[in-house]
A and B are shown apart, each in its own frame.
Chain A
């Protein structure tokens, strides 16, 4: 049933290219001269740091080029998995199997596109332990691409869970300063954020592990295609769905398990926040579409109201919370939670528009929120504070920056013409087909998002430039302009011309819905 258009392991090459880059950095460090204590110092250190940056940029760009090649090989008119590779691994139905379809291919491209930008964003702002930092990012990229390419649930789990390790280190080592008191222990707040991030996600995913064991014991395989066709009994579907939900809801994150996200975002270095917002959060939505809907259709119908409720709460409540934030990154983090509410709402309307809207919203959020975190990074690098009150009147000194920031702010609000609009409107159209009240409440979120986003923009950009420290602040440099410009181009292009992306989604979403309705009919539910 699988029509693979190539037997070459393009996907594996793309997935592991960044890892090879990490190995090169290790080698370059091993070859560097060390002092008696085995530590690299002085000009030698500068040299290895420079090498690490360049190697990381080369390999992330290389992975991006390979992913473009994959996209060329990919036939968007087919719904099935393509470029499939399969190698025996654990035996007994668990294998190393990779492949992409319309749902995953664009997330792969998003990942490979965002990563070089992250490396560029860290070019000057990361000064300590540059080699380690680049290695962590390269390893993280391998794991993230793997998540979207894995066609075996077990393999998916390895990538999904493995991505915790590099992110844990990125937040903990390169996170910002500050101290936090927790349970009687005083610890740096970046450590608190890193631990919270790790443990929250771990607990969620461990339940998925048990569910996976149960599914494997019944179906005898963890092949995703086979599991999607396997009819799990309706009673069991409920529990399995909840276990998967635990994992993806934390990752998404959905209210009320979203509290790790603001902490992680605030503490993470700029590029860490970008990866977190642009890619890691998408794994949750991707998981719902790849596993929850096709494998547990009956439970998905049953639990859809729960998802609607949580999504609406996320949209309205976290938007209100965002209104009250003093910290720019925290504000954007809460707005991410609200936007992910649209995604979950759209997906669980189980209509073509809703699902495509959810997918599109994830894609667009990847560009826009990633760009917003980069924008915060731009001023943070200059002023070393993220407090909204510390800024004001920046438009006088940084007109170009103000323009870019305004564009992404409006994209975040969902202004027509930006990609943010397309996702939201599709998700709402989907919601209207199910229940107009849901769409009604979700629309409030759009209004609130305008309120908090424009408030942020006004306080940071407008007003008189009174703060002494801001007098000499320079505008965006070429490197920053390239990064933000690239993201802006995509957000604009997808906003005016969403067709190409929707056409890629469409066949796979159609197939998903077709199978979904077929297995519902087979299960006697209508």
Chain B
């Protein structure tokens, strides 16, 4: 394959990275007063990339760039969701950043660069491209966490994230080098071949455990979740919205591809590890969130829990399992964006509020917002007929189908516990006396994102879950 043909296949990534550079240069000359225009340009870039990913050249049959980068139905599925959610995150931030007076042009550009990193992650089929993708994403995210540089909380969040993130990257790199040492190759395909032929894979598995630890950090799965609540709470809210959605999907996709395409022959070795991480994450998500009073922290623990459910599908290690992970993550991303759009609408007299108690009596002061949030919360809790339930159903089924009934039972118990804290918010909104009303003028973007997510959760995906499952199954089949 010639270099031009190769590049042609990587068109969405090229558009993103070249566009981001161009915007960066423009921004340097134009300055922060063009923040808005650069935001819109970034959204356009992401939309173009999404369109190219869907309608662009047919995926090649082989990995490109010497086997380091693979474009298939799996990567396309993830990319499209990542691009859309990143574009929404940029649009949702605009008002917030303007109000907080931190509307600097780097913001959208950094998001685009992070998205570029995620693109690499979901397509990586080589330890080197894996690491490059992870680092490109993480570096952009560290800066984003500290984006409100005059705020102590934000800089603290950025620093914490950076230090711990660097540590996890070390683990990742150490694991990768062990794997390279024992298999003699960095390519997933080659590693898979060596692993299936070797009589003993002890060295490889030690490397794999390090690799899993590093990746678990990136998707904030327990016991590598400690950074999540602090970073979620400290980072500017729209940044948190972005953190909670796209990077999680990218991390989970990378996780899935790495384990399934390079270590299928040692499934019985990594399955218990992933299952334990899943149980730990679900438990942490379920129990730690109960006592939270800050809604961003609560969402942090909630997302830890949700990663646990998604990992349950991964632990199954079957095509069924991977497709359930994809369905789960797609629904999760939509729910999260919607929930954060609601949180961004919690604004009174010019300031944001983050206390759960501020939602008291919301049904009396702002019924539409209360309805949206209620739908999203029931969906997060996994109560039918909301879409969140279908996500859970698919992962539970995948686990049971792979003879991991105990894991599914742990999952349902955790989701019963976690239902309590989602219900608590519903209780505040519906049953309590009204607190002071929020500002009603929240801008069209937030309203669109919140309504869109709520309507997707119920009734759109309830009715059309079949097609989504179909697409996810096709995407998952690409890995096997």
The interface of chain A, by Cβ under 8 A from chain B, is 37-39, 88-92, 129, 132, 154, 157-158, 161-162, 164-165, 168-169, 172-173, 188, 190-191, 194-195, 198-199, 202-203, 206-207, 209-210, 213-214, 216-217
Given A89-B465, A168-B423, 6 additional A-B pairs, CB 8 A: A38-B368, A38-B440, A90-B466, A206-B412, A207-B409, A217-B397
B420 touches A199 (CB 8 A): yes
A210 touches B431 (CB 8 A): no
Q: How far is the CA of A207 from the CA of B465 in the complex (A)?
A: 23
Q: Min CB distance, A350 to chain B, in Å?
A: 28
Residues in A neighbouring B301, C-beta threshold 8 A:
none
Task: Name A198's contact: one of B389, B408, B423 (CB within 8 Å).
Answer: B423
Residues in B neighbouring A217, C-beta threshold 8 A:
397, 400-401
Q: How far is the CA of A190 from the CA of B430 in the complex (A)?
A: 12
Residues in B neighbouring A157, C-beta threshold 8 A:
384
A172 touches B465 (CB 8 A): no
Q: How far is the CA of A37 from the CA of B348 in the complex (A)?
A: 13
Most buried by B among A37, A173, A188, A195: A195
Residues in B neighbouring A165, C-beta threshold 8 A:
378, 383
| B469 CB within 8 Å of chain A | yes
Q: How far is the CA of A435 from the CA of B384 in the complex (A)?
A: 41
Residues in A neighbouring B383, C-beta threshold 8 A:
161-162, 164-165, 202
Contact with A along B365-388 (1 / 0, CB 8 A): 111100000000010000111000
Residues in B neighbouring A164, C-beta threshold 8 A:
383
A214 touches B400 (CB 8 A): yes
A172 touches B397 (CB 8 A): no
- A215's nearest neighbour on chain B, judged by CB, is B400
- B369's nearest neighbour on chain A, judged by CB, is A38
- Known A37-B365, A38-B440, A89-B465; contact A172-B431, beta-carbon cutoff 8 A: yes
- Known A164-B383, A173-B431; contact A210-B389, beta-carbon cutoff 8 A: no
Contact with A along B388-420 (1 / 0, CB 8 A): 011001001101110001001100110110011
- A203's nearest neighbour on chain B, judged by CB, is B416
Q: Min CB distance, A290 to chain B, in Å?
A: 18
In the complex, 8 of the A-B residue pairs with CB atoms within 8 angstroms, ordered by the A residue number, are: A90-B465, A169-B430, A173-B363, A173-B431, A194-B431, A210-B400, A210-B405, A213-B400
Interface of B is mostly: helix
Shortest beta-carbon contacts, A-B, top 8: A206-B412, A213-B400, A158-B384, A217-B401, A213-B397, A172-B431, A203-B416, A161-B384
- A154's nearest neighbour on chain B, judged by CB, is B393
Most buried by B among A190, A202, A207: A202
Q: How far is the CA of A104 from the CA of B36 in the complex (A)?
A: 60
- Known A37-B440, A172-B427, A210-B412; contact A199-B400, beta-carbon cutoff 8 A: no
Most buried by B among A37, A162, A207: A162
Q: Min CB distance, A192 to chain B, in Å?
A: 10
- Known A37-B437, A158-B384, A207-B412; contact A213-B431, beta-carbon cutoff 8 A: no
| B470 CB within 8 Å of chain A | yes
B427 touches A191 (CB 8 A): yes
Q: Min CB distance, A322 to chain B, in Å?
A: 29
Q: Min CB distance, B109 to chain A, in Å?
A: 37
A216 touches B397 (CB 8 A): yes
Residues in B neighbouring A214, C-beta threshold 8 A:
400, 405
B408 touches A210 (CB 8 A): yes
- A131's nearest neighbour on chain B, judged by CB, is B367
Residues in A neighbouring B469, C-beta threshold 8 A:
90-92
Most buried by A among B378, B396, B397, B431: B431
A206 touches B437 (CB 8 A): no
Residues in A neighbouring B396, C-beta threshold 8 A:
209-210, 213
Q: How far is the CA of A203 from the CA of B413 in the complex (A)?
A: 7
- Known A210-B412, A217-B397; contact A195-B427, beta-carbon cutoff 8 A: yes
Q: Min CB distance, A49 to chain B, in Å?
A: 15
Q: How far is the CA of A154 from the CA of B384 in the complex (A)?
A: 10
- B402's nearest neighbour on chain A, judged by CB, is A217
Residues in B neighbouring A194, C-beta threshold 8 A:
427, 431
B389 touches A199 (CB 8 A): no
Residues in A neighbouring B419, C-beta threshold 8 A:
198-199, 202
Q: How far is the CA of A158 from the CA of B420 in the complex (A)?
A: 19
Q: How far is the CA of A213 from the CA of B321 in the complex (A)?
A: 13
Q: Min CB distance, A501 to chain B, in Å?
A: 31
Contact with A along B318-343 (1 / 0, CB 8 A): 00000000000000000000000000
Residues in A neighbouring B405, C-beta threshold 8 A:
210, 214
Q: How far is the CA of A213 from the CA of B267 in the complex (A)?
A: 22
- Known A162-B384, A209-B412, A210-B405; contact A132-B431, beta-carbon cutoff 8 A: no
Residues in A neighbouring B367, C-beta threshold 8 A:
38
Task: Name B413's contact: one of A92, A154, A206 (CB within 8 Å).
Answer: A206
Q: Min CB distance, B386 to chain A, in Å?
A: 9
Q: How far is the CA of A39 from the CA of B366 in the complex (A)?
A: 8
- B403's nearest neighbour on chain A, judged by CB, is A217
B431 touches A190 (CB 8 A): yes
Task: Name B423's contact: one of A39, A161, A195 (CB within 8 Å).
Answer: A195
Residues in A neighbouring B412, C-beta threshold 8 A:
206-207, 209-210
Q: Min CB distance, B41 to chain A, in Å?
A: 35
- Known A37-B437, A91-B469; contact A158-B389, beta-carbon cutoff 8 A: yes
Q: How far is the CA of A420 from the CA of B396 in the complex (A)?
A: 42
Q: How far is the CA of A88 from the CA of B465 in the complex (A)?
A: 11
Residues in A neighbouring B365, C-beta threshold 8 A:
37, 39
Residues in A neighbouring B364, C-beta threshold 8 A:
39
Q: How far is the CA of A352 from the CA of B50 in the complex (A)?
A: 63
A206 touches B415 (CB 8 A): yes
Q: How far is the CA of A469 from the CA of B430 in the complex (A)?
A: 34
Residues in B neighbouring A207, C-beta threshold 8 A:
409, 412
A202 touches B384 (CB 8 A): no
Residues in A neighbouring B423, C-beta threshold 8 A:
168, 195, 198-199
Q: Min CB distance, A149 to chain B, in Å?
A: 15
Residues in B neighbouring A38, C-beta threshold 8 A:
366-368, 440
Interface residues in B418-457 by Cβ distance below 8 A to A read 419-420, 423, 426-427, 430-431, 437, 440
Q: Min CB distance, A71 to chain B, in Å?
A: 27
Q: Min CB distance, B150 to chain A, in Å?
A: 34
Q: How far is the CA of A478 from the CA of B352 in the complex (A)?
A: 53
Residues in B neighbouring A206, C-beta threshold 8 A:
412-413, 415-416
Residues in A neighbouring B366, C-beta threshold 8 A:
38
Residues in B neighbouring A92, C-beta threshold 8 A:
469
Q: Min CB distance, A426 to chain B, in Å?
A: 35
- Known A90-B469, A213-B393, A217-B397; contact A195-B420, beta-carbon cutoff 8 A: yes
Task: Name B466's contact: one of A37, A88, A173, A202 (CB within 8 Å).
Answer: A88
- A239's nearest neighbour on chain B, judged by CB, is B405
Residues in B neighbouring A39, C-beta threshold 8 A:
364-365
Q: Min CB distance, A272 to chain B, in Å?
A: 14
- B406's nearest neighbour on chain A, judged by CB, is A210
Residues in A neighbouring B397, C-beta threshold 8 A:
213, 216-217
Q: How far is the CA of A154 from the CA of B390 in the complex (A)?
A: 10
Q: How far is the CA of A411 from the CA of B248 in the complex (A)?
A: 60
Q: How far is the CA of A269 from the CA of B408 in the complex (A)?
A: 37
Task: Name A162's contact: one of B385, B409, B415 (CB within 8 Å).
Answer: B385
Residues in A neighbouring B408, C-beta threshold 8 A:
210, 213
B466 touches A213 (CB 8 A): no
Residues in B neighbouring A195, C-beta threshold 8 A:
420, 423, 427
B400 touches A172 (CB 8 A): no
- B368's nearest neighbour on chain A, judged by CB, is A38
Q: Min CB distance, B417 to chain A, in Å?
A: 9
Residues in B neighbouring A132, C-beta threshold 8 A:
363
Residues in B neighbouring A168, C-beta threshold 8 A:
423, 426
Task: Name B393's contact: one of A129, A169, A209 (CB within 8 Å).
Answer: A209
Most buried by B among A154, A165, A207: A165
Q: How far is the CA of A88 from the CA of B470 in the complex (A)?
A: 12
Q: Min CB distance, A201 to chain B, in Å?
A: 10
Contact with A along B340-365 (1 / 0, CB 8 A): 00000000000000000000000111
- B414's nearest neighbour on chain A, judged by CB, is A206
